[in-house]
Amino acid sequence: MAASNASRHFDSARPDRARPRTLAGLAQGQSATIAALCPGEGAAIADHLERLMELGFLPGERVRIVAKGFPSGDPIAVRIGLATFALRRFEADLIEVHSAAAAP
C-alpha cells in the first residue's frame, strides 16, 4: 500500500517521468536537491532510511556526487553540507533527487 501511495505522489509531482531519478543515477560532479526518501518495505529498509535521515539526507538538502567507485560505481561518495559520506548504490537508490538543471 505504501508503494502505491508513493507511486501516486511521484506521478502527480512529475508526470513527465514514470520513475523518479535517484541519487545513484547522478554522474560524478553533478549536484541535485533531495526531493524525498523512497519508501520501502521491511525492517532493513526502514533502518537504512532512518540512518540516512540522521546523517542529514532530508528533502530540500543539496547534494553533490564527489566520486564513484571503479568499475561498478559502488560505493558513491556524496557531499552534503560540509560532510562527505560513502553510500552503497542500494542506499543511494532510496533517495529521490531533482537535478540542478531541473530545479525551480
CA pair distance 30, 15, nearest whole angstrom: 23
Residue 92: pLDDT above 90?
yes
- Domain 20-99: CATH architecture, name and number where available: Roll (2.30)
Q: 20: pLDDT confidence band, cut at 50, 70 and 90?
A: low
The DSSP symbol for 104 reads -
**Residue 4 pLDDT exceeds 50:** no
- Beta bridge mates, 64: 31, 79
Residues whose CB falls within 8 Å of the CB of residue 93, separated by 6 or more in sequence, listed in order: 22, 23, 24, 38
- The per-residue pLDDT of the chain, averaged, comes to 80
Neighbours of 27 (CB within 10 A): 9
Give yes or no for residue 8 having a pLDDT over 80.
Answer: no
Mapping DSSP to helix (H, G, I), strand (E, B) and coil, where does residue 99 land?
strand
pLDDT > 90 in the chain, percent: 55
